[in-house]
Amino acid sequence: MATVKNFLSKPPSSLLPKINVLSSVFSSSLSFTKPRPLMMKLETSRSTNSSTVKATAAPSKTKKAESDERVKRVHSIEEFDEALRTAKNKLVVVEFGASDSIDSKTIYPFMVDLSRQCSDVEFLLVMGDESEKTKELCQRENIDQVPHFSFYKNMEKIHEEEGIGPDMLMGDVLYYGDNHSAVVQLHSGDDVERLIQDHKADHKLIVLDVGLKHCGPCVKVYPTVIKLSRQMTDTVVFARMNGDENVSCMKFLKEMDVVEVPTFLFIRDGEICGRYVGSGKGELIGEILRYQGVRVTY
């Protein structure tokens, strides 16, 4: 879990969207550790012949490297900036790799699989040692180790990760690019009130996932939230709020006495009937069933 230390006002970091909101200082007391495969320093390859370039993208079917499914290969700063500009407010996921990085080749097929599943997300591949142009791009984006994943929206970097595995990559893509699931996205305390009013009559249980933008455990549990939202549409409404999105969301966290994230608030008939703090998938499912009146034994 991540602990909310305080709500001090401070300028947003370079990784956060440039919005004029009250931000806060957070520390992590996580029971979640992301995989750390061996990473390598990024260097420019002396050889840029066709065999070197083809070998970088994927261990098989290398002829598809230029446009493998929906993953677009970019070769310069100009192409990169144009791809971000064209994507507009879509999430753009970029893998920065290298031709002699085993880890880059290993994670790439999983990114291709995600590109098939997430049609509302754009995927880019940059091979840092392909040429001087790609090296310049990596230097501009402060990439010195690969594989490195950066996430952009509206041409702004909103998140980045190094040394992650397939599960974490999937979690990041769903968490930062979720525009199509049954999870209701809330952006203010007023949104919460409207959602509660909308479901007073049908007596559905509302499960409100409260997290932070750069919270590892929040990302980790979110795929489970999406899956449950699709399986329980008849009886449960799932919603999500990032507490550090703006002042209204931060105020809601304080009013609800949320000090650790992720926190799941359970609301029925306009009243908060309970909460679960943590990222355990089994525990979350058990709590949801319990508040639906299902007897759960552990």
Give residue 182's pLDDT band: very low, low, confident or very high (50, 70, 90).
confident
Q: Does pLDDT of 13 surpass 50?
A: no
Query: Is 63 a residue whose pLDDT tops 50?
Result: no
Averaged pLDDT score across all residues of the chain: 79
pLDDT for 163 equals 84
pLDDT tens per residue across span 242-257: 999 899 999 999 999 9
Instruction: Give the pLDDT confidence score for residue 39 in this predicted structure.
Output: 44
What pLDDT does 167 receive?
86
Q: Which of 118, 215, 249, 273 is catalytic?
A: 215
- Please check the confidence at residue 119 and state whether its pLDDT lies above 70: yes
More confidently predicted of 251 and 55: 251
Say yes or no to pLDDT of 287 above 70.
yes
pLDDT at 12: 34
273 in catalytic set: no
Q: Which residue would you say has higher pLDDT here, 253 or 179?
A: 253
**Residue 161: pLDDT over 70:** yes
Say which residue, 79 or 53, is predicted with more confidence: 79
Q: Is the pLDDT of residue 189 over 60?
A: yes
Q: Read off the pLDDT band of 78 (50, 70, 90).
A: very high
* pLDDT mean over 60-79: 72
Euclidean distance between CA atoms 170 and 267, whole angstroms:
29
39-43, 73-77, 192-196: segment of lowest average pLDDT = 39-43
For position 32, what pLDDT does the model report? 31
The pLDDT value recorded for residue 46 is 39
Active site residue 249: no
User: What confidence category does residue 214 fall into, taking pLDDT thresholds of 50, 70 and 90?
Assistant: confident
